[in-house]
């Protein structure tokens, strides 16, 4: 109980009142005792005066009896009873004792009332503080519900109620952060939907034009086949865009669970090269894998996606007859794969933006601009790293690092 700051304060107040009452009671008792002694001496004085006025020779004997208690008590009580005076009754027959009892009764009632009043004031003070805190908390929650938490609810005192106020404040902060993040996500979603609409609209417009051309009767077979091929490429572009966006949405939502395992790095690269082999052969692009193979702890499926997107970017930006060199290196800290192409390179001002979503740059207008963004997201999820260097007109090199001590 004493761990509760509020109850501890109330306990200390009550303890103070108890000590105060105890000291007051002791003082009151001493006052009463002094009065009784005074009245007792006064009463004995009356008795001595009455006896010694007629028998002064008995002074020493009577004083000795008073001080030493000599004499027969029962004989004295019997004499008092003859006159209706009994110790089972009161001392009302003595006027000065009667007044003293009345005064003591008034003082005792007054003392009890003071103690009761002080206890009531302490409880009212405690309850008033608690209800004030509750009203403050209620006002705060009302503002939170109305979307305007302007009050600072932090409480630096100790106690269960202070802990509750701090917990409510923390909850409010989290709710506000969640609301702000929700608004941010909503704006980002609107931007993404706008970008997707723009990306899909371009190939669809092209397909509508091609469809109108193909619907003409006077078109020759060669022209028809050429436009059909263009139509197929636009369909492939839409398919790639939809597939990539679905994968990115899974990454953004956090629904992707990585299945980490030890895999030879070379096998992952070869799997990523497989769907690009025929296009590269048709473009006469030479691909080589150099360096020693090494075992890396990674998610094979999503890491293949990383290499597919980087290699596809290298293929798209490399002219016919060019080359792509893949180099595997390893040290105690990380395993690094560098992918160098002999393409047109990336302009210096565009290089910092290539990993942004839907950023296409000026060198490839056919690019959708989602592949490299997906590659970075996957590497970040694996606590890896991907970055690029480039010299315009000479080529680009992508560096993909898998840290051994961060997985």
Mean pLDDT within 349-354: 87
Q: What is the pLDDT of residue 1?
A: 45
Distance between CA atoms of residues 372 and 380, nearest Å: 12
At 23-54, the pLDDT tens digits run 777 777 677 767 777 766 777 777 778 777 87
Q: If we measure between CA atoms, which residue out of 249, 327, 313 comes closest to residue 285?
A: 313
pLDDT at 148 exceeding the cut of 80: no
DSSP summary character for residue 122: H
| C-alpha dihedral, 95 to 96 to 98 to 99, nearest 10° | 120
Residue 294 CB partners (closer than 8 Å, separation 6+): 264, 265, 328, 330, 335
Beta strand pairing status for 323-330 and 286-290? parallel
Question: Is 106 within 8 Å of 4 (Cβ atoms)?
Answer: no
Cα 71 to chain center, whole Å? 87
pLDDT at 192 exceeding the cut of 70: no
Mean pLDDT within 81-94: 58
pLDDT at 397 exceeding the cut of 50: yes
Backbone CA torsion sign across 197, 226, 312, 343: negative
Higher-scoring residue by pLDDT: 11, 101: 11
What tokens were used for 356?
A: 């942004």
Distance between CA atoms of residues 315 and 319, nearest Å: 8
Q: Model-level pTM greater than 0.75?
A: no
Mean pLDDT within 147-161: 59
Question: Is 210 within 8 Å of 231 (Cβ atoms)?
Answer: yes
pLDDT at 191 exceeding the cut of 80: no
Q: What is the pLDDT of residue 99?
A: 61
Distance between CA atoms of residues 183 and 161, nearest Å: 33
Q: If we measure between CA atoms, which residue out of 249, 268, 368 comes closest to residue 326?
A: 268
Higher-scoring residue by pLDDT: 327, 211: 327
What tokens were used for 109?
A: 């009632």
The domains found in the chain, sorted by start residue, are: 5-145 (no CATH), 172-237 (no CATH), 258-403 (3.30.565.10)
Mean pLDDT within 274-288: 89
Most confident of the ranges 17-21, 65-69, 383-387: 383-387
What tokens were used for 132?
A: 């004030």
Distance between CA atoms of residues 354 and 387, nearest Å: 9
pLDDT band at 144; cut points 50, 70, 90:
low
Q: What residues form DSSP beta bridges with 335? A: 330, 402
Q: What is the pLDDT of residue 151?
A: 53
CA distance between the termini of the chain? 47
Q: If we measure between CA atoms, which residue out of 148, 239, 164, 124 comes closest to residue 4?
A: 164
Residue 226 CB partners (closer than 8 Å, separation 6+): none
Backbone CA torsion sign across 226, 231, 233, 234: positive
Q: If we measure between CA atoms, which residue out of 170, 109, 111, 125 comes closest to residue 144?
A: 170
Distance between CA atoms of residues 220 and 222, nearest Å: 6
Residue 164 CB partners (closer than 8 Å, separation 6+): 137
Q: What is the pLDDT of residue 124?
A: 74
DSSP summary character for residue 275: G
Q: What is the pLDDT of residue 158?
A: 59
What's the mean pLDDT when you consider all of the chain? 77
pLDDT at 108 exceeding the cut of 60: yes
Question: Could you give the percent of the chain with pLDDT greater than 70?
Answer: 73
């Amino acid at each position: 109980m004493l761990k509760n700051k509020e109850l501890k304060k109330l306990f200390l107040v009550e303890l103070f009142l108890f000590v105060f009452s105890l000291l007051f009671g002791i003082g009151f008792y001493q006052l009463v005792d002094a009065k009784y002694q005074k009245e007792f001496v006064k009463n004995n004085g009356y008795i001595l005066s009455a006896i010694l006025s007629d028998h002064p020779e008995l002074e020493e004997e009577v004083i000795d009896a008073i001080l030493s208690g000599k004499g027969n008590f029962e004989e004295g009580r019997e004499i008092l009873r003859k006159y209706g005076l009994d110790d089972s009754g009161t001392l009302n027959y003595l006027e000065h004792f009667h007044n003293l009892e009345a005064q003591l009764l008034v003082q005792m009632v007054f003392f009890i009332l003071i103690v009761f009043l002080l206890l009531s004031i302490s409880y009212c003070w405690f309850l008033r503080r608690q209800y004030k805190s509750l009203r403050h908390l209620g006002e705060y929650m009302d503002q939170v519900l109305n979307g305007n938490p302007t009050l600072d609810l932090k409480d630096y005192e100790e106690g269960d109620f202070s802990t509750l106020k701090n917990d409510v404040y923390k909850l409010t902060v989290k709710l506000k952060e969640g609301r702000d993040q929700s608004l941010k996500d909503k704006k980002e979603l609107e931007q993404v939907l706008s970008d997707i609409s723009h990306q899909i609209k371009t190939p669809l417009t092209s397909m509508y034009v091609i469809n109108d051309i193909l619907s003409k009767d006077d078109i020759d077979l060669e022209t028809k086949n050429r436009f059909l091929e263009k139509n197929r490429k636009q369909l492939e572009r839409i398919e790639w865009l939809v597939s990539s966006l679905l994968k990115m949405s899974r990454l953004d939502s956090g629904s992707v669970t990585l299945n980490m395992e030890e895999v030879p790095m070379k096998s992952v690269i070869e799997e990523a090269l497989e769907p690009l082999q025929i296009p590269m052969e048709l473009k006469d692009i030479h691909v080589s894998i150099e360096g020693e193979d090494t075992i890396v702890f990674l998610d094979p499926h999503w890491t293949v996606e990383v290499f597919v997107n980087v290699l596809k970017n290298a293929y798209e930006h490399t002219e016919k007859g060019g080359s792509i060199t893949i180099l595997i290196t390893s040290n105690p800290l990380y395993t690094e794969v560098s992918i160098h192409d002999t393409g047109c390179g990336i302009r210096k001002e565009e290089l910092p933006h290539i990993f942004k979503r839907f950023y296409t740059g000026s060198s490839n207008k056919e690019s959708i601009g989602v592949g490299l963004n997906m590659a970075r997201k996957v590497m970040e999820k694996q606590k890896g790293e991907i970055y690029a260097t480039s010299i315009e007109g000479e080529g680009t090199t992508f560096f993909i690092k898998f840290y051994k001590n961060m997985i």
